[in-house]
Structure 1
Amino acid sequence: MIGAARWTLLISISGIAIAIVLGTFICAARIGASKPLRMLSGLYISAFRGVPLLVQLLLFFYLLPRIGLDLPALHAAILAVGMCAAAYVAEILRSALQSIPSGQTEAAEALGISPFALWRRILIPQALRLGLPSLINELILLVKVSSLASVVGIGELTRVSQNIAGQTYRPLEIYLTAALIYFVINFVLAQLGRYAERRLAVD
């Protein structure tokens, strides 16, 4: 079960990494000047937030091979989790960006700083810092929903627990152990998040 927890962490951490990168671009499109990009990013967010992750996992697992992307189940699950979480991360970053004083953008433009440099050096670092508590909560949520990856045959913690319970006929002990492992993982992540918040805090 400890070994299976590594797959749970891999899916969750890889998913949040994809979500932060993709969510940043979606957020930029969502608040940008281009109306078509705003509409597309809004549609993306609505679609991935409106469809259950379980359905998305099954769609990715069965649809990708039909369009020529024959990914292993693990990679398909990570991609599904990451793209789903990107919709939530985009909204977290958008909310954080809206709390940054507009004077910073105006000052950067007055100094001749390029839009790319403005986002990379000023806006995104602040948005990540301001949105860190919500991003940590999203990571913890991904750890819990990663159990859905068992539907595509990945031997993560929940699936392995089910297999062991079926073999030993001791479901109570097995599922209590699984619950404890999930709790320890999320507790550690929460503590790391609080530590990061303190380190990044600005007086």
Structure 2
Amino acid sequence: MATFFTLLGQHWDAFLAGAVFSVTLSFTAIACGVLVGLILAFGLLSENRLIRYASNIYRSIWRGTPLLIQLLIIFYFLPHVGIELPPLGAACLALSMNTAAFQAEIYRGGLIAIPAGHTEAARMLGMTPFQIRKNILLPQMFRTVLPSLTNEATSLLKNSSLISVIGVTELLRTGQQVVSTTYRPLEVYLIIALTYLVMTVSLGLLGRALERRLSKSERVSHGI
């Protein structure tokens, strides 16, 4: 136990920097995945067979293969076609494309849950498809899918540890570097595990706080 606290005291700045980097990269990927995920979600529900088929292919590939394999393919394949990305760029691209597929399925479920009468009423009022999506569908959908979206963000944060295999210095690789100088793997990896636990629990609490706030806003808007 003394060694645990000694290591934490000696290397807390490195662990903190690694944790901040992991959180920043994960939220960047989530944000990038939102746009692609929304496009895919509407594509999955499109009446156009070609768009629906293409969206299904993307979703199946990125949901059906391991993130580690996706990361390695992007990192090693893109230079062969003339696209040079640094390890960080490859990591962000892989995480964003992966989470977009999972977010698309989350958004699709949220859109299906919205009563069809809401869309029909908006059409009768003369709203354009863009206005219907922006003002009617998306606000209701995000309130519905927030718990699932929080779970996806939590999963992505944990999976971001995989990017250490291509040399990106996030939390896990920071721990590996500390192990190489201290030769105390048990204590170091325990610190990393507890750090991830704190981050994921905090993210869950943030998600629940947003849920309560949205629920309160909805009750106020309905005069309850």
Tell me if both proteins adopt one fold, taking TM over 0.5 as the criterion. Answer: yes
Listed as ranges, the gaps of 5+ residues in structure 1 are none
Q: Which of 195, 201, 205 matches 1:187?
A: 201
Residues 131-146 of structure 1: pairs in structure 2 closer than 5 A: 131-146=145-160
- TM-score where L is the length of structure 2: 0.88
Residue identity (%): 45
Report the residue type matching 2:96 in the other structure: G
Distance 1:11 1:65 in 2: 22
Residues 39-188 of structure 1: pairs in structure 2 closer than 5 A: 39-188=53-202
Give CA-to-partner distance per residue, 1:11-57, whole Å, 9 cap, x none. 21011111111100000111011110000000000000111100000
Give CA-to-partner distance per residue, 1:136-174, whole Å, 9 cap, x none. 000000110000000110001111111211221111111
Give CA-to-partner distance per residue, 1:57-110, whole Å, 9 cap, x none. 011111222223212211111111111111110010111111111000000111
Q: Which of 25, 44, 48 matches 1:11?
A: 25
Is residue 198 of structure 1 aligned with residue 198 of structure 2? no
Count of paired positions: 203
Q: Residue 70 of structure 1 aligns to a residue in which SS?
A: coil
Listed as ranges, the gaps of 5+ residues in structure 2 are 1-14, 220-224
Q: Residue 198 of structure 2 aligns to a residue in which SS?
A: helix
**Residue matched to 1:20:** 34
Distance 2:83 2:35 in 1: 21
Distance 1:64 1:127 in 2: 35
Distance 1:101 1:30 in 2: 18
Report the residue type matching 1:134 in the other structure: S
Distance 1:111 1:186 in 2: 44
- TM-score where L is the length of structure 1: 0.97
CA RMSD of aligned residues (A): 1.0
Distance 1:67 1:2 in 2: 37
Deviates more, 1:108-117 or 1:68-77: 68-77
Distance 1:120 1:65 in 2: 38
Give CA-to-partner distance per residue, 1:110-153, whole Å, 9 cap, x none. 11100011111111121111000000000000110000000110
Report the residue type matching 2:35 in the other structure: V
